[in-house]
Amino acid sequence: MSPLLELRGVTRQFGGLRALAAVDFSIAQGEVVGLIGPNGAGKTTLVNVITGVHPATAGTVRFAGEDVTRQQPWQAARRGIARTFQIVQPFPDMTVLENVAAAGVFAGSAPYGVRAEAAAMEHLGFVGLAERARQRAGSLTLAMRKRLELAKGLAMQPKLLLLDEVNAGLNPAEIEQALALIRAIAARGVTILIIEHLMKVVLNLCSRIVVLHHGELIASGDPQGIVRDPRVVQAYLGRRYAAH
């Protein structure tokens, strides 16, 4: 079976800066894959390349067997590629419901109006925000805004969901709630690629981990193998973590 997402030789340069260097990896349908690496390793750039925000300078991106290297973000959304953002910025003066409905309309998964709002209410119920539907999005707490991001992603009816630091800034209880939601999303058959700094989250959630360093993919494999990989220990984890 062909992978859902496949990157071959993906490179991205910004002037003289090479943010990604000939990255190769693939994700199978139904996988939950962790993407880790130091700050500046190229993780968010990789997500931007996949979603068409910054097209690859070289190499190819294939999704569901189709070459999507030069796609635009709206095309990615309509193909079933959704994402969340590390810095959560909903439309603050729109309601929570309107934010989620807008995501569905953008992705073409629901027509504007009553049907979009009805679908949005289902997604808000799933993430536990139904009671906040008529509230201004700008008034939500950080943890609620993170859940709103997940609801917006789900409104796009994704085949692949890219999560960028979805747990950043959350306390331990909120992280556990977020993990439960991500597992429930995966149980629906949605393939997930998650950028995450918290190794506890990655080890508990992901079946496979890929590691970037200075824009290069330095390791890929099962979680237990990754935490013992000398290249990953040196570049990211540190000997103290590996020994622990």
What is the per-residue pLDDT across 130-174, written as a single tens digit (0 to 9) for each? 999 999 999 999 999 999 999 999 999 999 999 999 999 999 999
Number of domains in the chain: 1
Examine the pLDDT at 244 and tell me if it is beyond 60. no
Q: Is residue 186 assigned to a domain?
A: no
Examine the pLDDT at 1 and tell me if it is beyond 70. no
Q: Is residue 120 assigned to a domain?
A: no
CA distance 180 to 20: 32
Q: Is residue 219 assigned to a domain?
A: yes
Lookup result for tokens 């990255």: 23
What is the per-residue pLDDT across 65-96, written as a single tens digit (0 to 9) for each? 999 999 999 999 999 999 999 889 899 999 99
The alpha-helical segments, DSSP class H, found in the chain are: 43-50, 73-79, 96-107, 114-127, 142-155, 172-187, 199-205, 223-228, 230-232, 239-243
What's the predicted TM-score (pTM) here?
Answer: 0.93
What sign results for the dihedral spanned by CA atoms 7, 79, 89, 118? negative
Residue 148 identity (one-letter amino acid): L
Q: Is residue 35 assigned to a domain?
A: yes
* Domain CATH code at residue 54: 3.40.50.300
Q: Is residue 16 assigned to a domain?
A: yes
Helices 172-187 and 114-127, interaxial angle, to 10°? Answer: 120
Q: Is residue 188 assigned to a domain?
A: no
CA distance 127 to 161: 15
Q: Is residue 44 assigned to a domain?
A: yes
Q: Are the beta carbons of 102 and 91 closer than 8 angstroms?
A: yes
pLDDT of residue 237: 82
Q: Is residue 10 assigned to a domain?
A: yes
Range of 2's domain? Answer: 1-79+195-244
Of 12-16, 145-149, 233-237, where does mean pLDDT reach its minimum? 233-237
Q: What distances in angstroms separate CA 8 from CA 22, 115, 129, one per listed residue?
A: 7, 39, 39
